[in-house]
A and B are shown apart, each in its own frame.
Chain A
Amino acid sequence: MDFDLENPLTISHDFQPETITSLFAIESDHMPSETYLQSLKARNFDISIRREAIASISQLCCNSDDLLLYLAVNYLDRFLSCQGVLQPKPWLIKLLAISCISLASKMKKSEFSLLDVQGDGGIIFDTQTIQRMELMILGALKWRMRSITPFSFMSFVISLFKLEDPPLLHALKARATQIIFKSQKDVELLVFKPSIIAASAVLSASDELLPMQFPCFKKALSNCSYVNKENMLQCYSAMQDIVVDGFDSVLERVCSSFVTPANVLDHTFSSSAESGKTTVTSISTLRLERDLKRRKNSEYCKNHRLQISHEHFQSHKRC
């Protein structure tokens, strides 16, 4: 019964081709309404409420994984979108934040205790109050808590690229994941469907990591019948601000996803030489090599490499 964001429709591990069709068919039920962005913008103050609530969620989630945070913010947006304006009272925002995290952690079976997070000295809510808020959120979301998110489409999108090199796949996925986390905070991207966010994020990641292949990937995505090309390109261009912003830190992360970067490079070279595998590998390794040099120049990286590689998903904590 566990809920896996990358595989929301099934609790089994067998991949079924019809699952992907269902995902595209119902993804719109799991995003904020079309008018959400407009109504947030119409009243500047709603944007700040959203920002505050997200800050509160991030703070409360600081020891958990980023997927938990992502799911909680997904609930938050969907709730705000159908509930309308919230009174800008700090306690209400905190209650909403706590309830979204509580629901998300129950869905993900995360280790998370209401008692623990409330031990920070701020306002403390009793169980009944939180439960009421949870039920309010559940009602607003129609109990559709197995959210379909960009992560649900990630494997599908990457499979369109037909890459065979596991470290490359891993790197691409890691970077796209990071872009998706970042893009959740940008209100301009709220209008795009989860699948479009996923496609654009993977495309952005490929532009950075495999620039020679980029045109080919873009074509593959544009030709996919499930993906609306115009929306994807629109989303992709809106995403570029975020991407530029976070690029340097990515390299650390991408490299740190290999056990020791230098060895992996050796490994990749030798395996490509043996199997005679072509351009993709060598270009990417060159690029990774260049990036590594850049990375090695940075004192920060030198000092933090080990730590980063251990905290694969936690290297960009906001707290």
Chain B
Amino acid sequence: MEKYEKLEKVGEGTYGKVYKAKDKATGQLVALKKTRLEMDEEGVPPTALREVSLLQMLSQSLYIVRLLCVEHVDSKEGKPVLYLVFEYLDTDLKKFIDSHRKGPNPGPMPPSLVQSFMYQLCKGVAHCHSHGVLHRDLKPQNLLLDKERGILKIADLGLGRAFTVPLKSYTHEIVTLWYRAPEVLLGSAHYSTGVDMWSVGCIFAEMARRQALFPGDSEFQQLLHIFRLLGTPSDKQWPGVSSLRDWHVYPQWEPQNLARAVPALEPEGVDLLAKMLKYDPAERISAKAALDHPYFDSLDKSQF
């Protein structure tokens, strides 16, 4: 690890602490993520091996934060500690949206930028899904930006088991519920790629609104936020919903006009958003299909 100079702690990732650091030889900035992988009696733990190699493979996409290498150092007790070395990006979508809301020059994000970020997000998510990997914790903080080149990359793939249980963060910081799909909130045992598409929809709306679409502070409140805007779901529109583990009796709300929640968004954008926020996960648009939605027709796709 003497190859790197630690500069500052930049956050708490799914894996643990994240440091900004500089590669002493090349000057390249990197993000160092220390993992808590304990070597067991059979050497490198199998789950770590499988997950890091999967991450290595996924990070070949331009829209996924690149895993540059994996370093190991011996801790004081003589046990190796693994560090994941990622490319460093200077900001994330949360900070970017915040700067448009309350920075020195507040104002909406340019529609063409929202469109471009959405396209890249769908590309990255489609890449993960085509490899059978769910992200499960997509949120603006996990979308890193290269502001100068206008590039968005997905970070913090919570591959899961070797590092942490995705629902509880390592540092016990409050895990945000704002982007969580209703089937997860209702305790569905089987969920799939739709959970990520719900999050993508919430992020889409948030870019257009400059504030979160469903800012709940408990799982129950989160559901009420969703139901108030989209109407309380019925078994007719979402077969089996009332048999889900955590289903209760809720107030009966009628669906509101979605376009009114995102006034800055053009009609094609609202149409795509509605398809991402379908209650029935089976009806929700896939990332791959989203890339072909008319909302992106006016985008110059040759740059991607």
> Which residues of A come within 8 Å of B, CB atoms?
1-3, 9-14, 16, 18-19, 26, 99, 102-103, 106-107, 109, 113-114, 127, 130-131, 134-135, 138-139, 142-146
Partner of B132, one of A12, A18, A102: A12
Partner of B131, one of A11, A107, A138: A11
Which residue of A has the minimal Cβ distance to B51? Answer: A1
Which residue of B has the minimal Cβ distance to A144? Answer: B56
For B133, the chain A residues whose CB sits under 8 A away are: 11
Shortest Cβ gap from A46 to chain B (Å): 26
Considering the complex, which residues of chain B in the window 119-136 have a beta carbon less than 8 Å from any beta carbon of chain A?
Answer: 130-133
Shortest Cβ gap from A107 to chain B (Å): 6
Cα distance A107–B43 in the bound complex, in angstroms: 13
Structural contact, B57 and A146, CB atoms closer than 8 A: yes
| B282 at interface, CB cutoff 8 A | no
For A143, the chain B residues whose CB sits under 8 A away are: 52-53, 56, 67, 69-70
Shortest Cβ gap from B77 to chain A (Å): 12
Which residue of A has the minimal Cβ distance to B126? Answer: A18
Cα distance A11–B51 in the bound complex, in angstroms: 11
**Other A-B pairs beyond A1-B50, A2-B50, A102-B42, 10, CB < 8 Å:** A1-B161, A9-B131, A10-B132, A107-B46, A107-B49, A135-B72, A139-B69, A142-B56, A142-B69, A144-B53
Cα distance A138–B51 in the bound complex, in angstroms: 13
Shortest Cβ gap from A11 to chain B (Å): 4
For B43, the chain A residues whose CB sits under 8 A away are: 99, 102, 114, 127, 130-131, 134
The SS class assigned to the B binding surface is mixed
Cα distance A139–B131 in the bound complex, in angstroms: 24
For B56, the chain A residues whose CB sits under 8 A away are: 142-146
For A1, the chain B residues whose CB sits under 8 A away are: 47, 50-51, 54, 159, 161
Shortest Cβ gap from A135 to chain B (Å): 5
For A99, the chain B residues whose CB sits under 8 A away are: 43
Cα distance A182–B215 in the bound complex, in angstroms: 60
| B41 at interface, CB cutoff 8 A | yes
Considering the complex, which residues of chain B in the window 23-74 have a beta carbon less than 8 Å from any beta carbon of chain A?
Answer: 39, 41-44, 46-47, 49-54, 56-57, 60, 67, 69-70, 72
Cα distance A142–B66 in the bound complex, in angstroms: 13
Structural contact, A139 and B42, CB atoms closer than 8 A: no
Structural contact, B132 and A11, CB atoms closer than 8 A: yes
Structural contact, A103 and B49, CB atoms closer than 8 A: yes
Cα distance A2–B47 in the bound complex, in angstroms: 9
Which residue of B has the minimal Cβ distance to A12? Answer: B132
| B80 at interface, CB cutoff 8 A | yes
Shortest Cβ gap from B256 to chain A (Å): 35
Known A102-B42, A138-B44; contact A145-B132, beta-carbon cutoff 8 A: no
Shortest Cβ gap from B54 to chain A (Å): 7
Structural contact, B44 and A107, CB atoms closer than 8 A: no
Cα distance A271–B39 in the bound complex, in angstroms: 56
Which residue of A has the minimal Cβ distance to B57? Answer: A146
Structural contact, A113 and B53, CB atoms closer than 8 A: no
For B131, the chain A residues whose CB sits under 8 A away are: 9-12
Which residue of B has the minimal Cβ distance to A16? Answer: B130
Cα distance A109–B80 in the bound complex, in angstroms: 22
Shortest Cβ gap from A6 to chain B (Å): 14
Which residue of B has the minimal Cβ distance to A141? Answer: B53
For A144, the chain B residues whose CB sits under 8 A away are: 53, 56-57
Q: Could you give 6 example pairs across A and B, Cβ below 8 Å?
A: A3-B53, A10-B130, A12-B132, A114-B43, A143-B53, A144-B53
Cα distance A5–B250 in the bound complex, in angstroms: 49
Known A102-B43, A106-B50, A146-B57; contact A138-B70, beta-carbon cutoff 8 A: yes
For B132, the chain A residues whose CB sits under 8 A away are: 10-14
For B54, the chain A residues whose CB sits under 8 A away are: 1, 11, 146
Shortest Cβ gap from A102 to chain B (Å): 6
Query: Most chain-A CB neighbours within 10 Å: which of B42, B54, B56?
Result: B42
Cα distance A261–B161 in the bound complex, in angstroms: 46
For A138, the chain B residues whose CB sits under 8 A away are: 44, 49, 70
Cα distance A134–B44 in the bound complex, in angstroms: 7
- Give B140-162 as 1s and 0s: 1 = Cβ < 8 Å from A's Cβ atoms: 00000000000000000001010
For A142, the chain B residues whose CB sits under 8 A away are: 56, 69
- 9 residue pairs, one from A and one from B, having the closest CB atoms: A12-B132, A106-B46, A11-B132, A145-B53, A131-B43, A10-B132, A1-B50, A10-B131, A16-B130
